[in-house]
Amino acid sequence: MTGDIPNLSPVAAATALLRAGVPPGEVLKLMEPRAGLLNAGQVANAEVVSLKQLGNDFQLLLKLTMDNGRQTTLPVSSTLPLTPGTTVNVAQGSADTLTISVQDLQKAITNSLTSIDTRQLPAGTLLQGKVLTTQVAAQNVAQLAGTPAGSATTQPAVYRSIVMLLNTALAGSSLTIDSPQPLRVGSLLSAQVQNSQALNFVALPNRLDELALAQQLSTQQSRQGSLQSLLTALQNLPPPSADTPDTLPANLRASVEQLLADLPDLAQMSTAKGVAQALNASGLFMESRLLAGQNPTLVPDMKANLLRVIAQILPGLPDNTSYNAAAAANTLARAMPSVIRNALGTLGLVAAPGPQSSFPLPARTLGSAEGKDDLETLLKLAAGAISRLQSHQLGGLEQTRTNADGTQVTTWQLEIPMRNAHDIVPLQVKVQREDTPEREEAPDSATQEVKEKEKLWRVELAFDLEPLGPLQVQAQLIAGSLSSQMWAQREGAAELISGELDNLRARLVACGLNVKELACNRGVPSQGPRTVLEQRWIDENA
């Protein structure tokens, strides 16, 4: 299905509305009467914050700014779809109405884009948006053209919709489009730019919607807590003794001990086999094992261990003197969100792109430092640790994409807590693989030679290891050639590491690698512009 962008001039648009019976002073009905909101003759500046269609009318949320600078928000009802971001001047006609002047009305109804600048969004650009309004537009078209109401020629119905754009540089803007079929209000759509006045709607892809993923990721990161906080609390639990009875249930104590025992140490992480085992047990692959019909409890798995600890904390909470059932339920509800696709049902109007995934995830402690052996505190720390693992998983999904040239980028992001003597050092890891498409050389004979796909690997590490302090590593590997940059924040650490780079180079060469560049810098790596992801939309009814 295609969608046309109506090429209406501001004067023509205003004329169409006035012919349709819109009064010179559009009346907004207050959802809750507010007597004395504005004095007689007083005009206030108002900005449309949100728009929602209710039948043939529209519900707006206005933010009013008075002359004294005081601001207030008001829900109002309107016959016009004033798009978010529109600024108008209003006056109060009665306790339950506001009016807009004709000049402001013309500005408001032309706020929605009626064409696409193909220099900014060239043909082929994939757009993403949410339908705000849908109305039959054939009557207005007939009025503008002067077609008599009883004409023998019956025109097919045309539906005019206002769509809020959710991606590209125009995110937060609204676009007016005409389509042969009505677009359901609130649905998410994808469309490809054909030219400045036409879009081609894209069929539903068989993959998670990037918008829902970004929405879930932004809320997930606000719930997450550092793994180190939980693991330190578990390490400091008082051990059972003959004189003191164990304060933890036996099955919970066993699960805690199993979780701590599965943590790798630095010796294990110094071998290729040990690293592979640690990656496999990081919790990143728990869902894939479940989808494959495997039991994740049969192999070490951080996420499965955390879920088991939470399941065994819950029965003991009612016996805890400080137990708050509502708080515990809220903790789990926030930390254990439903499936990503369900986030579509709670998406509001998006005025700007949401928070994007970052690496490394910052340290974050939930709760106070006291009472770490309290079951409710352990529940909160464990739930935050699960959210942190899920934030890594969602961050990897968000960065997995196919570029315009066909290059496939696959990203894995995870966290591995390591034992370093009596301390636990969380190692954050991001692995990215780029697969270039196969290229065929021009044939010199009847046969064609096909090149093998080149794989480019990028690895990022972040950890805080005493006495060096916080460290970050970025490495790139292609065709056996390795380049790496390191960053140390602590004074003197960069110089110490730089003095050992020759030994590191020798060990890498002994592994068969061609080492090009090795360097260590003071500070943190610069954060460059984020690569734009290929957008995918999903319908809420899918």
d(CA 111, CA 175) in angstroms, rounded, equals: 9
Q: What is the pLDDT of residue 141?
A: 43
- Residue 37 belongs to what H/E stretch? none
Mean pLDDT of the chain: 75
Question: What would the two tokens of residue 507 be?
Answer: 């060990």
CA angle 297, 303, 304 (to 5 degrees): 25
> What distance lies between CA 256 and its chain's CA centroid?
32
Cα first-last separation, the chain: 17
pLDDT band at 317 (very low <50, low <70, confident <90, very high): low
Instruction: Choose among 188, 178, 173, 79: nearest CA to 134.
Output: 178
pTM for the predicted model, two decimal places: 0.55
Question: What would the two tokens of residue 157 be?
Answer: 């119905």
Task: Kindly list the domain boundaries of the chain, sorted by start residue.
Answer: 210-437+453-522
> What distance lies between CA 254 and its chain's CA centroid?
37
Is residue 82 scored above 70 in pLDDT? yes
d(CA 370, CA 322) in angstroms, rounded, equals: 14
| Inter-axis angle of helices 375-398 and 227-235, nearest 10 | 150
Instruction: Choose among 418, 386, 463, 414: nearest CA to 260.
Output: 418
d(CA 217, CA 337) in angstroms, rounded, equals: 11
Are 387 and 220 in contact, with CB atoms under 8 Å apart?
yes
pLDDT band at 25 (very low <50, low <70, confident <90, very high): low
Residue bearing tokens 């002994």: 510
CA angle 95, 132, 530 (to 5 degrees): 120
Q: Which residues pair with 198 in a beta bridge?
A: 4, 195
pLDDT digits (tens, 9 = 90+) for 298-314: 788 998 888 888 888 87
Q: What is the pLDDT of residue 149?
A: 47
Q: Can you list the alpha helix ranges (DSSP code H) found in 426-490?
A: none
Q: Which residues pair with 477 in a beta bridge?
A: 457, 482
Instruction: Choose among 321, 428, 312, 327: nearest CA to 380.
Output: 327
pLDDT digits (tens, 9 = 90+) for 50-74: 887 776 678 888 888 877 778 888 8
Residue bearing tokens 């292609």: 478
CA dihedral 34, 36, 42, 47 (to 10 degrees): -20
pLDDT digits (tens, 9 = 90+) for 244-284: 777 778 888 888 898 999 999 988 998 889 999 999 999 88
